[in-house]
Amino acid sequence: MLIRRETRSDIDATRAVTSAAFAKSDTTSDTLSSSSPPPPIEATLLDELRTSDGWLPALSFVATGDRGEVIGHVVCTRGHVGSDLALGLGLGPLSVHPAHQGRGVGLALVHAVLGAADAFGESLVALLGSPAYYGRFGFRPAVDYGITPPDPAWGEYFQVRTLTAYQPTIKGLFRYAEPFDRV
């Protein structure tokens, strides 16, 4: 496996991996139906993020397999914290093709994007996800830092990982890149 920055030629493969990773199996649907299910919201979100002001190409990474095929993807986009709009990052979506899940691909992708974000002088990364999974990367409930989620119901699932440039004065409401509000 190789982790590298995403290139324009990876976009279709990245979308396919994201769609596969978040596909819902619906055993109650009519198997004779000719209509295909809509793409998962995460794939639509990724498409929307690519065309937004929040897109940061240097923080979009793919994992490739032995034959160079894309097997995973992670992205951080520009976010803001508080009324003074301090800079932060929103992580997600994180996608690993189902055939490669449980093999450390997601782990490698998250480590790569966190390392890059720190090297670029970013202060923090926020996400909505499993505390059990993301805790291993140093994510903690955002409220521990005085950062509130866009939706209060998210509770402990809205987490923050501080980076070297973090200042404890960064507090307030976290705002993801605009497509998160629409999609």
* DSSP character string of 87-103: EEEEEEEEEE-GGGTTT
Question: Is residue 170 included in any domain, yes or no?
Answer: yes
Distance (Å, whole) CA 114 – CA 110: 6
Residue range 36-92, pLDDT digits in tens: 778 899 999 999 999 999 999 999 999 999 999 999 999 999 999 999 999 999 999
C-alpha closest to that of 77 among 90, 58, 86? 90
Question: Is residue 113 included in any domain, yes or no?
Answer: yes
CATH number of the domain within which 140 lies: 3.40.630.30
Question: Is residue 31 included in any domain, yes or no?
Answer: no
Residue range 67-79, pLDDT digits in tens: 999 999 999 999 9
Which residues are registered as beta bridge partners of 61? 5, 74
Question: Is residue 95 included in any domain, yes or no?
Answer: yes
Domain extent for 97: 2-21+39-182
Question: Is residue 100 included in any domain, yes or no?
Answer: yes
Question: Is residue 132 included in any domain, yes or no?
Answer: yes
The model's pTM is 0.91
Question: Is residue 111 included in any domain, yes or no?
Answer: yes
Question: Is residue 27 included in any domain, yes or no?
Answer: no
Number of structural domains (the chain) is 1
